[in-house]
Structure 1
Amino acid sequence: MRVRRSVPTTLLAGLAATTLALPLAGQAGAADPGARGAVPARGTAHMGMGVLRHDGQGKAAPGGVSTLAVQTEGVDVSSHQGNVAWSTLWNSGVKWAYVKATEGTYYKNTYFTQQYNGSYNIGMIRGSYHFATPDTTTGAAQADYFVNNGGGWSKDGKTLPGVLDIEWNPYGATCYGKSQSGMVSWIRDFLNRYKYRTGRDAVIYTATSWWKQCTGNYSGFATTNPLWIARYASTVGELPAGWPYYTMWQYTSTGPTVGDHNRFNGDLSRVQALANG
């Protein structure tokens, strides 16, 4: 004879609540990267903000890429770093830098002057980047806002072309509510306008997994726009389609003095060549 054991009512209630909560949590996480924490305030996004959450650290996807023997150290900064100790970075071997200038058409980095001029004055080759928000305004409008607020270029040998930082949306849906073809069109709109305003092809900063998901692994920009790849691992791993090599690699968010450290795929003369166009 089998004896049926009763399950405490409180345990049944807990299991039911858990079962009901799981699908809802999964749906929210898929749509909203900020679901696992508070959604940040507009303007606070920075380069690589979603890399740890979505790509992790210490992982490298398979796939061989071309890497030169010599790499040149660089950093990227935003308002999160405040007034940067540029002399400390210079003395540690950092020779180039990128500074966040703008986001969308609504935000300008309040520390831009100290960061942009400070890196230049210490001797670094430097440039600026724009954090894209394709759900707020057109690519052309954001390119204009970027160029008008620190994203321009001059052939002085120490100014790098501007960067389009296109990655996970920290404020909502991963791909900003756009289809893959819609995202490609938005990016093209930005790049074309930036080229028209400055005469230079902008650098594209992204992560392979995001690029695959949100552009369908589009390869059409590889012949004109240098690639700045984000992956926090010992090797860069797979690159987005079309690019046979990376120009820059953001390899960590936990570097000394400034968290985000990068390697330029070549010696200092190659950094200078990119600055000179």
Structure 2
Amino acid sequence: MRTSIHRLRGRPRLCLTGALAVLLLFLSSSPAAPATPVPPDPTGGPITRGNAYMGIGVLAHDGASDAPPPAPRATQTEGVDVSSHQGEVDWRSLWDSGVRWAYTKATEGTYYTNPYFTQQYDGSFDAGMVRGAYHFATPDTAGGAAQADYFLAHGGGWSADGKTLPGVLDIEWNPYGDACYGKSASAMVTWIRDFLDRYKSRTGRAAVVYTATSWWSECTGNYAGFGPANPLWIARYASTVGTLPAGWSSYTMWQYTSSGPSVGDHDRFNGSQDKLREFATG
């Protein structure tokens, strides 16, 4: 490797030659490291802001078990979760198939609202289902309290009418970048707490936390402090729920598949239909 120094307007200028120049050329042309893989948009398009949906990272990071899905149980009640990807939903058909509750994506960050929200949210109610709304969290775009306010302003509220479920914080892998949204475990816990505290202070009801055990362990350090107050919606595509995140000894809801017999992801409420209405009432 050779270098030489020349003068330019009285200042030294370093000229790079030989092997060093070749090395710099190689580095400038090397491709960037690939991003963390995520499932594609179900419609076949690219994943862009607003396209995220409940469980978007579960298959990519946890996969699906080869075991058959759980058998129907009289002590559990079937549900679905939907987003804009499902478009207008045939709720009567879902009711006839045994679905008794539903969650609709309302918002993402502080920049997106589901254009099909009214048809999905009101339609499930009109079909006789107990229904609620969820918020897809993006902790790298705005604070937890700000996102809770945005959620509440766009369909995420709750009322004790026996048919409205408490709002859900969908906190999982970032489909647009770093899995933990660039936050340390302690910063992530603070963000989640800010969202949950604001939702509780404005509605009087504790929000449900939707997550997967592996993400929770990685991105919150398996924090155990939310279990006593906030119901858990666990995501695991298998015949059993497996290990739950720290702080929860049981789950309230379980997303057990992303490929159910009809529209949307399929879920189980851990109780009878009467218990479901009790849960909705608070």
> TM-score, normalised on structure 1?
0.85
Alpha-carbon distance between aligned partners in 1 of 2:40 and 2:205, rounded to the nearest angstrom: 39
Aligned residue for 2:189, secondary structure, equals: helix
**Which runs of 5 or more structure 1 residues have no equivalent in the other structure?**
1-19, 61-67
Q: Is the 8 A contact 1:252 1:259 kept in 2?
A: no
Of residues 253, 261, 278, the one that matches 1:256 is: 261
Structure that is richer in strand per residue:
2
Alpha-carbon distance between aligned partners in 1 of 2:66 and 2:108, rounded to the nearest angstrom: 29
1:151 corresponds to which residue?
Answer: 156
1:232 corresponds to which residue?
Answer: 237
1:185 corresponds to which residue?
Answer: 190
Matched, 1:50 2:57: yes
Matched, 1:102 2:107: yes
Deviations 1:5-43 (A, max 9, x none): xxxxxxxxxxxxxxx9xxx88x534xx345999961100
1:70 corresponds to which residue?
Answer: 75
1 or 2 for the larger relative contact order (CA 8 Å, sep ≥6)?
Answer: 1
**Displacement of 1:273 after TM fit?**
1.3
Aligned residue for 2:154, secondary structure, equals: helix
Describe how 1:1-277 pairs up with structure 2 within 5 A: 28-29=34-35, 32-34=36-38, 40-58=47-65, 70-277=75-282
**Displacement of 1:59 after TM fit?**
6.4
Structure 2 vs 1, CA of residues 82 and 182 (structure 1 numbering), >3 Å: closer, same or farther? Answer: same
Aligned identity (percent) is 70
Structure 2 vs 1, CA of residues 164 and 36 (structure 1 numbering), >3 Å: closer, same or farther? Answer: closer
**Displacement of 1:274 after TM fit?**
1.2
Amino acid at match of 1:142: Q
Structure that is richer in helix per residue:
1
**Between Structure 1 and Structure 2, whose CA radius of gyration is higher?**
2
Alpha-carbon distance between aligned partners in 1 of 2:39 and 2:197, rounded to the nearest angstrom: 34
Aligned residue for 1:98, secondary structure, equals: strand
> TM-score, normalised on structure 2?
0.83
The CA RMSD over aligned residues, in Å, is: 2.1
Structure 2 vs 1, CA of residues 36 and 162 (structure 1 numbering), >3 Å: closer, same or farther? Answer: closer
Moved over 4 A (4+): 34-39
Q: Is the 8 A contact 2:110 2:147 kept in 1?
A: yes
**Which runs of 5 or more structure 2 residues have no equivalent in the other structure?**
1-26, 68-72
